[in-house]
Amino acid sequence: MKFSGCIFSILLTFTLYLNGAPAAAAELSGETEACLACHALVTPGIVGDWHASYHYKSSPAEGLSKRRSSRRISAEQVPEPLADTAVGCAECHMMNADKHSDSFEHNGFTIHTVVSPSDCATCHPTEVTEFADNLMAEAYANLMHNPTYAGLIESTNGKHEFTGQGISFHGSDPVTDADSCISCHGTDVKVVGVETRETMMGEMDFPQLSNWPNTGVGRLNPDGSKGSCSSCHMRHQFSIEVARKPYTCAQCHKGPDVPAYKVYAVSMHGNIQKSVDKNWDYKAVPWTIGKDFTAPTCATCHASEIIDENGELLAKRTHRFNDRLPWRIFGIPYAHPHPIAADTSDIVNQAGLHFPTELTGEPVPKFLISPAEMEKRQGAMEAVCAGCHSDQWIKGHFARLDTSIETTNHMTLQATKILAQAWEEGLAAGIPQGQNPTNEAIELKWVEQWLFFGNSTRFATAMGGADYGVFADGRWYQAKNLQEMYDYLKFLRATKAAEK
């Protein structure tokens, strides 16, 4: 870089930085001080955000000195010299430099931009190992490597063309995909070149990253790791408070296909959270039920470590977000027992489709958890409820979920039968014809039957918000849509007869 003219401003910034920064409990490394000398001027937002984080306030050694139940780091030991300084810019952005294909020379340091789960693992190994077993960590492959879902991507993201005779379909382009499906599922981030940029401190070289920016849960990182911890712990505060609040999950879980946040927001739990959470402590570790919070958030039911006021453990923390989920109520196309492996792209049914159930709804047992495992996970979820509800309330709730799964699957099957009839009679071209099953009008209605209405109904039963199980995307639409699919079948038959 060209140093002329900027040395003065760097020195000035650093002096201002030292005067303005909140007192750090932990010492900063020399490398991090060098980053700050520039970055307090270049990216003051990042530096300010980091000042508010635990990473600025305490060193790994201090973190490890806490009682086990209050620890925020899961490593048993953190190597020197990392242990004794604050976790600063250099500690994260220079970690495992040799494993990063995005490493580059930056003002005398070898750094990378994409700090990955493998980098966090030096101090947080348990969270990283657990997260890797999560459907979320595999969300890229689960979508992009499953040939049966390819049609859904094309129908949604492709540029369709009216030809006068019909509509022709073209594959989607990578920029649209990155802005659509894989903005949540995660993109494939690779180094695709080097660019020289004019910065406020002269010319510098940076690696060019493909499909960047992205914070999808299953992002493929340049060091070969999967996922992005910042999808729930946004940089640079990396806070537990943010992850425990439902708004964070809402970014990706809002629907109408995945309406977890919508149903939660209008549930009693969500209402209590919005009304009284100013009296809650979202930062406490461990998290005490009744004292720190009085109604569950997404994190409480799916991930959090929860104790009672006697210190008794109700639920152990997990970053494997399916540890408490017996079912996959997100049905493509049917709800079914949860998959065993995080990577679902290998699942094949008897008909050769990459679905966890047959088209008629029977689960493909080889790939799905056993009844014993389902019971164990059910028990783990109920242990959370039991902190605030009695057994009769909890059992009554889950009996409704069993029925909701059964009735919504039944309604999906009826829609599938109508579509299968249309395919058989040659009124639409789908699976039997080796064509995209999700691009003609009657097929789109079939997709809505399960993707929107089946899922919405089940999510409303599982997590509250009854409206979403009835007149807002729920049972009403399931019934109406089925009727319309049948009428559409008759219309297609009449059209075909008229053409003859």
Q: For residues 434-493, which are near ligand HEC according to CB under 6 A?
A: 462-464
| Residues numbered 292-321 forming contacts with ligand HEC, rule: CB under 6 A | 293-296, 298-305, 317, 319, 321
Q: Select from 12, 175, 194, 268 the one that contacts ligand HEC (CB under 6 A).
A: 268
Site for ligand HEC in 49-68 (CB under 6 A): 50, 54-55, 58, 60, 62-63, 66
Binding mask 331-370 for ligand HEC (x = CB under 6 A): -x-----------x--------------------------
Q: CB neighbours (10 Å) of residue 49?
A: 17
249 binds ligand HEC (CB under 6 A): yes
Q: How many residues bind ligand HEC (CB under 6 A)?
A: 141
Site for ligand HEC in 363-382 (CB under 6 A): 381
**Interface pick for ligand HEC out of 17, 330, 423, 446 (rule CB under 6 A):** 330
Distances (CA, A) of 401 to 285, 326, 394, 398: 32, 12, 11, 5
DSSP alpha helix (H) spans, 370-474:
371-385, 391-424, 441-448, 455-463
- In the complex, the smallest distance separating the C-beta of residue 3 from ligand HEC, rounded to whole angstroms, is 8
Q: Which stretch of DSSP H or E encloses residue 240?
A: helix 240-244
Q: Check residue 185 for interaction with ligand HEC (CB under 6 A).
A: yes
Q: Which stretch binds ligand HEC (CB under 6 A): 28-36, 406-414, 441-449, 482-490?
A: 28-36
Tokens of 5: 């003219």
Among 201, 359, 418, 492, which residue interacts with ligand HEC (rule: CB under 6 A)? 201
Parallel, antiparallel, or unpaired for β 327-328 and 336-337? antiparallel
Nearer to ligand HEC, 47 or 492 (CB): 47
Q: Which is nearer to ligand HEC, 262 or 489 (CB)?
A: 262
Q: Which single residue is written with the structure tokens 């679905």?
A: 355
Residues 158, 216, 333, 430: which binds ligand HEC (CB under 6 A)? 216
3-state secondary structure of 401: helix
Question: What's the CA gap between 443 and 454, in Å, rounded?
Answer: 15
Instruction: Give the nearer residue to ligand HEC in terms of CB position, either 192 or 494.
Output: 192
Cβ contact 93:113 at 8 Å: yes
User: Residue 185 is inside which H or E element, if any?
Assistant: helix 181-185
Residue 422 in the binding site for ligand HEC (CB under 6 A): no
Q: Does 230 interact with ligand HEC (rule: CB under 6 A)?
A: yes
Closer to ligand HEC by CB, 19 or 165: give it: 19
- Distance, CA of 387 to CA of 371 (rounded, Å): 25
Of residues 289, 343, 312, the one with CA closest to residue 134 = 343
Place of tokens 């783990």: 380
Q: Mention every residue, 6+ apart, whose C-beta is less than 8 A from residue 231.
A: 215, 216, 217, 251, 252
